[in-house]
Structure 1
């Protein structure tokens, strides 16, 4: 699930858009985003999105 959330961040999607794509609530995605940022040591979702691009998670 973390990978799909990170891919969404890499595509520049909002929490609501990621939630709709994954059929989860926006609150659930907010938690995933927060935990993903912590795991990666990123200070914001833009930094995580760039990391996703660098890792090849996003086309």
Structure 2
């Protein structure tokens, strides 16, 4: 859920890693799994799902 929320905020893998104290390679694996579970072909689609679900902070 945290990875998906970060995608909804438009963070890069490096940005997600910095926020969640994870290695960028670990984030890359997590993002791939999130995309697979949601049936998304890219991180933008997953980010839109996160935003629609209210998971993203919304840049305020």
- For these two proteins, the number of residue pairs brought into alignment is 57
Q: In structure 1, what is the equivalent of residue 17 of structure 2?
A: 19
Tell me the CA shift for residue 14 of structure 1: 0.2
Q: How does 1:1-59 map to 2 (within 5 A)?
A: 3-59=1-57
Tell me the CA shift for residue 36 of structure 1: 0.2
User: Alignment RMSD, CA only?
Assistant: 0.6
* Shift >4 Å, 4+ stretches: none
Within 2, Cα distance between the matches of 1:11 and 1:58? Answer: 5
Tell me the CA shift for residue 11 of structure 1: 0.4
- TM-score, normalised on structure 2? 0.92
- TM-score, normalised on structure 1? 0.93
Q: Greater share of helix residues, 1 or 2?
A: 1
Secondary structure of residue in 2 paired with 1:19: helix
